Structure 1
Amino acid sequence: MHRLPDHDVTLEPLTAAHADAVLAFEIENRAYFAASIVDRGDGYFEEFAARHAALLAEQEAGICRFHVLVDDAGAVVGRVNLVDLENGTAELGYRIAEKAAGKGLATAAVRALARLAASEYGLTTLWAGTSATNVASQTVLTRAGFRRVGDDHQRYELRSADS
């Protein structure tokens, strides 16, 4: 568990104990997320328990590293994940609750996870994708030390030597 500087939030590895709070976070923010990324669909919510268990199995196998941002009241206010860990590389993805957006939390969380990726998971390269129109996500990534790869604003990369 890592306390994020300047935020009343901890970055925690995802566990079975987080299931109810993660589901509440996803339901509460569904419309907000769907405004900028593809909606998860009703099936995600209907099969949430099985999906959560599958994520934990992937994490146990070392394929992925899932994290939640938990506020002092115990509510999940964000998710920050590393998926497809292979050969020192992983894809970073995140989502922040609408009520917590615009306060620097996403940048702080991405920075914290990038440090963990290098120090605890042995990763040397992270990459993240965003849509060409998602300027907020592009800003978070660049503030966290990622560099755009190519000209289309959709792929960003961070190498541990950069941070």
Structure 2
Amino acid sequence: MHRLELLRPDHAPALLTFERENRAYFAASVPDRGDPYFSGFDARHAALLAEQAAGRDFFHVLANDAGEILGRVNLVDAADGEAELGYRIAQRAAGQGLATAAVREACHLAATEYGLTALRAVTTLDNTGSLTVLARTGFLPAGELLVDDRPGRRFTRDLRERTADPTP
């Protein structure tokens, strides 16, 4: 069983393990976080919790029953009823539908718990997994852009159009 949990202080050790174990995998499709992210992890984790407490961001982890973190789903820069969606799933958990389920749940939380009415997302055109997740969860293309010099696409999801129900 997997559950999406709002980021807490006690997630730090498992989250750091998740990020370290998947660093090379993530760097193949998104910019690497860099060594300072890992060396200053505790301070960064505390900063994320402070941003979340201020209501600007909603950071989530996707955890299994053993407490292992298999993914992250974040809603950042919340303002005027909108936020930016970002997510990543561990390499060993990819292709199992976890990203789709977690994004659906995050959309539901955004609409029902966080008072958001729309979400934005960006991915590169060569990230077929992310393109599939966004299509399956109701995001619509909203323009082209470059992401670190790679062709990409913007997406939007109006949370008022559907109930943002996490079920298919």
Aligned to 2:160: 161
Specify every segment of 5 or more residues in structure 1 that has no aligned partner in the other structure, as ranges: 1-7
Q: 1:121 aligns to what SS in structure 2?
A: coil
| Equivalent residue in structure 2 for 1:98, among 77, 80, 91 | 91
Give the 4+ runs in structure 1 shifted more than 3 A: none
Deviations 1:22-81 (A, max 9, x none): 000000000100111111011000000000000000000001000000011110000000
Q: 2:124 aligns to what SS in structure 1?
A: coil
Matched, 1:135 2:128: yes
Normalising to structure 1: TM-score of the pair? Answer: 0.93
CA RMSD of aligned residues (A): 1.0
Q: Give how far 1:150 is off.
A: 2.5
Matched, 1:22 2:21: no
Aligned to 2:165: none
- Contact in 2 for aligned 1:145/1:162 (Cα 8 Å): no
Aligned to 2:62: 69
Aligned to 1:4: none
Aligned to 1:53: 46
Deviations 1:76-100 (A, max 9, x none): 0000000000000000000000011
Question: How many matched pairs?
Answer: 156
**Whole-Å Cα distance in 1 between the matches of residues 153 and 107 of structure 2?**
19
Deviations 1:91-127 (A, max 9, x none): 0000000011001000000000000000000100001
Specify every segment of 5 or more residues in structure 2 that has no aligned partner in the other structure, as ranges: 146-151, 163-168
Q: Give how far 1:137 is off.
A: 0.4
Q: Give how far 1:162 is off.
A: 3.0
Aligned to 1:144: 137
- Name the amino acid aligned to 2:157: L
**Whole-Å Cα distance in 2 between the matches of residues 137 and 35 of structure 1?**
13
Farther off after superposition, 30-39 or 145-154: 145-154
Matched, 1:80 2:73: yes
- Name the amino acid aligned to 2:137: A
- Contact in 2 for aligned 1:9/1:70 (Cα 8 Å): yes
Q: 1:126 aligns to what SS in structure 2?
A: strand
